[in-house]
Amino acid sequence: MTYAQAGVDIDAGDALVERIKPLARMTRIAEVMEDVGGFAGLCRVPTDIDEPVLVSGTDGVGTKLKVAFATGKHDTIGQDLVAMCVNDVLTCGARPLFFLDYFATGKLDVDVAESVVRGIANACKISGCALLGGETAELPQMYAAGEYDLAGFAVGVVGRKSLVDGKRTAAGDKVVGLASSGLHSNGYALARRVLAPGHGAFAERPAELGGASIGETLLEPTRLYAPAVKAALAAGLDVRAMCHVTGGGLPGNLPRVLPEGLGIALVASWPRPPVFDLIAQRGPVEETELRRTFNLGVGYVFVVPPEQEERLAAVMSEAGFPSFPLGTVIAVDPQTEFEERVRFSEPGGPGAS
């Protein structure tokens, strides 16, 4: 009896490592000390940062993977993994340093795994961090045929005095949103239930999606905001808080970066990708449920003093990131419930185009 007969192909794993090495090498940054292949990745702490603080984040892709399995498209899901981790790290004002991935499957398909890791490497390159290493696990009988799971871990660094922690946020500060690329990687259990309840539904091309299929729309990768944050900080803007809008939507995430006694009054509308309205119509899904499940077109948020709102918008435009006024920081009763600290304007449908 051999390990391969038991369902674990060591040769396939070794072949994947060889394919990954050049992908990781293209993401190398000055602080990386060794290539992929050892037991651990080595990365120096930058020497030009006073009182460096390490910032970490970990996440997965969730049931968005089910869309990749159903469509056979695996080259963008890696970007989702990097974005969900690195975008979190950015909110502290940190420069992302390195990323580690974990890929687990019942039977290793080297081509599929390479496609996933290539997406991870490309996203790391855009984000300015190194793909420092990872783990591939072949686990017979743990996953359905053709399926896999992903998890990631990112580490960044920021000077203690440059840490963005929201503590200086004050009533009257302006809230600026950066457009999401769609659902990102949240709410897929609901989105799939509504938009793709049966076999072949991912190929449908509803008129509301402008010619794109449901599968293509749901696989649109999570936007990487590292270049936007880098541009804002390099411009010397007084960024008082940042928020990555993930599960829980705006009401579940914005209060996390606000001091007690503060909330946000949102504007009446902002650009909203049509997929959210399609979900609402086909569910049907109530607006309140949409708000606390999806990002509704807002992927990342900056809080700046009022006099810097226009300057931030100009910097974002120059960096290639669509932005829009999202609201104003307001004083609220310190006893206000967490999600109720985010006030949606009525009527008109918050987020409606």
Every domain of the chain and the residues it spans = 10-162, 174-343
The yes-or-no verdict on residue 352 having pLDDT over 80 is: no
- Please calculate the CA angle 226-164-230 and round it to the nearest 5 degrees: 25
Residue 39 confidence (pLDDT) = 85
Assigned token pair, 114:
């390479």
pLDDT 10s digits, 258-317: 999 999 999 999 999 999 999 999 999 999 999 999 999 999 999 999 999 999 999 999
Residue 4 confidence (pLDDT) = 87
What DSSP designation does 5 have?
A: T
Q: pLDDT grade, residue 36 (50/70/90)?
A: low
- Please calculate the CA angle 321-288-180 and round it to the nearest 5 degrees: 10
Paired sense of beta strands 323-331 and 342-343, if any = unpaired
Residue 198 confidence (pLDDT) = 80
Residue 129 confidence (pLDDT) = 97
Of the candidates 273, 17, 292, the one whose C-alpha atom is nearest the C-alpha of residue 135 is 17
The yes-or-no verdict on residue 78 having pLDDT over 70 is: yes
CATH fold of the domain at 10-162: 60s Ribosomal Protein L30; Chain: A; (3.30.1330)
The domain covering 174-343 belongs, at the CATH homologous superfamily level, to: PurM-like C-terminal domain (3.90.650.10)
Asked if residues 176 and 326 have their Cβ atoms less than 8 Å apart, the reply is yes
Q: pLDDT grade, residue 35 (50/70/90)?
A: low
Q: C-alpha distances in angstroms, 79 versus 87, 121, 147, 184?
A: 11, 8, 18, 10
Mean per-residue pLDDT for 112-139?
A: 97
Mean per-residue pLDDT for 147-163?
A: 97
Quote the percentage of the chain above a pLDDT of 70. 97
**Chain-wide mean pLDDT for the chain?**
94
Quote the percentage of the chain above a pLDDT of 90. 91
Q: C-alpha distances in angstroms, 170 versus 85, 258, 324, 328?
A: 28, 9, 20, 10
Mean per-residue pLDDT for 188-216?
A: 93
Q: pLDDT grade, residue 348 (50/70/90)?
A: very low
Asked if residues 209 and 274 have their Cβ atoms less than 8 Å apart, the reply is yes
Residue 353 confidence (pLDDT) = 36
pLDDT 10s digits, 218-249: 999 999 999 999 999 999 999 999 999 999 99
Mean per-residue pLDDT for 321-345?
A: 96
pLDDT 10s digits, 51-62: 999 999 999 999
Residue 275 confidence (pLDDT) = 97
Paired sense of beta strands 342-343 and 262-266, if any = parallel
Residue 282 confidence (pLDDT) = 95
Q: Residue 28 — φ and ψ, nearest 5°?
A: -60, 135
Of 36-40, 179-183, 241-245, 323-327, minimum mean pLDDT range: 36-40
